[in-house]
Amino acid sequence: MKGDGNFSGAGLFYVPVDHTGRQTSSEEEVKEIKMIVEGIFKNKLQWINRKGERNLITENDILIVAPCNLQVKALAKALLGFRIGTVDKFQGQEAPIVIYSVTCSSANDAPRGMGFLYSPNRLNVATSRALCMCILVGTKQIFEAECRSIEQMKWVNAFSRFRELAETIEI
């Protein structure tokens, strides 16, 4: 990615957002994602495709992913014209930028349990859609889950590894 602003370069980015008690939608994350997208356009972020061509980022170049349908609806209402959906919707699709809204405030707030929120397969599908940049938006508490089994430790480890490798951007 070429351009000014917080999100130049390529790779993994983590944007922390403060909220508590959120389960299936987070207005705080919707606002943050809207600011991220506005910043990408304001700073005229460009990407270089496989043919070596430089292109300005458009709405079609950004996938916005969330685990819960209520968050998808809230994001779609705030960001008209973007490709927004659950992980399942985008299986097989790619984009230069993927923004992943974790939505839940913590492991304890996950309405379908840790297995759904922290599924390594879901995280992998969501993040592997990105051709250049993946931005994970969520609370710091998602990295502090209390695990009660080795399986749960593996799930949380995938999120923790993302954060470890990501550049943290405070907006």
DSSP assignment of 19-72 equals -SS-SS--HHHHHHHHHHHHHHHHTT-EEE-TTS-EEE--GGGEEEE-SSHHHH
Residue linked to tokens 């270089």? 48
- Residue 127, helix vs strand vs coil: helix
**Contact indicator for 131, 95 with CB cutoff of 8 Å:** yes
* Domain 11-168 is found in CATH 3.10.580.10: no
Q: What DSSP string describes 84-125?
A: EE-GGGGTT--EEEEEEE---SSGGG-TT-HHHHT-HHHHHH
Could you report the per-residue pLDDT of 53-104, keeping only the tens digit for each? 999 999 999 999 999 999 999 999 999 999 999 988 877 889 999 999 999 9
Q: What is the pLDDT of residue 120?
A: 86
- pTM exceeds 0.85, yes or no: yes
Any idea where the domains of the chain sit in the sequence? 11-168
Could you report the per-residue pLDDT of 117-146, keeping only the tens digit for each? 898 888 888 888 899 999 999 999 999 999
